[in-house]
Amino acid sequence: MVIGLAADHGGYKLKEEICEWLEDSGFAIKDFGALIYDAKDDYPDFVAPLARAVASGEVVRGIAICGSGVGAAIVANKVQGVRAALITETYSARQGVEHDDLNMMCLGGRVIGPELARELVNAFVAAQYSGEERHERRLDKLKQLEKDNFKETD
């Protein structure tokens, strides 16, 4: 499984730790930056390319980190095909994938510590979408909303 990561200055340190954990666990990583700490960088510059990579299938799942995780989630959900959520506990990290086919997890680098982050990441990457009829029905409705609200770009 290829996992993409992105963070601004508010999540840079945590992103670096997560990259190391995931690589040590055998995952392939694609790092969308920031590649250096810059207190003046902006989360959309890193999260948007990650979200596009998730939507295109270039990476299977994405993890985006900013100071609170809120901005990262807002940016990610502007990309058609991305289902991103701010995650703060393991139930949603797992259930979001199993029921909602969550493909991008957003974390707050300033509000969670590294051990909780590790648990959230482990739950997120280990979970699999169930494909149950009720979940498929809901995803179909979501896809229709996207079709109705996102304009095609050339």
Burial (0-12, 13-18, 19+ Cβ within 10 Å), 21: middle
pLDDT at 153 over 60: no
**H-only helix segments in the chain:** 12-24, 44-56, 70-76, 90-100, 114-126, 133-149
The pLDDT score that the predictor gives to residue 154 is: 44
The pLDDT score that the predictor gives to residue 105 is: 98
Whether cis (ω within 30° of 0) applies to the bond prior to 76 is no
Partnered with residue 108 across adjacent β-strands are 66
Residues 6+ apart with CB under 8 A from 18: 5, 63, 65, 117, 118, 121
Task: Return the active site residues.
Answer: 66, 99
pLDDT at 74 over 70: yes
pLDDT digits (tens, 9 = 90+) for 86-122: 999 999 999 999 999 999 999 999 999 999 999 999 9
The pLDDT score that the predictor gives to residue 152 is: 63
> What is the torsion angle, in degrees rounded to the nearest 10, for the CA atoms of residue 37, residue 60, residue 141 and residue 145?
40
- 43: confidence class by pLDDT, cuts 50, 70, 90: very high
In contact, 5 and 27? CB cutoff 8 Å: no
H/E run at residue 84: strand 84-86
The pLDDT score that the predictor gives to residue 146 is: 87
**Domain annotation for the chain: domains and CATH numbers:** 2-149 (3.40.1400.10)
Say how far apart CA 81 and CA 78 lie, in whole Å: 9
pTM of the full structure: 0.93
Mean pLDDT computed over 71-92: 97
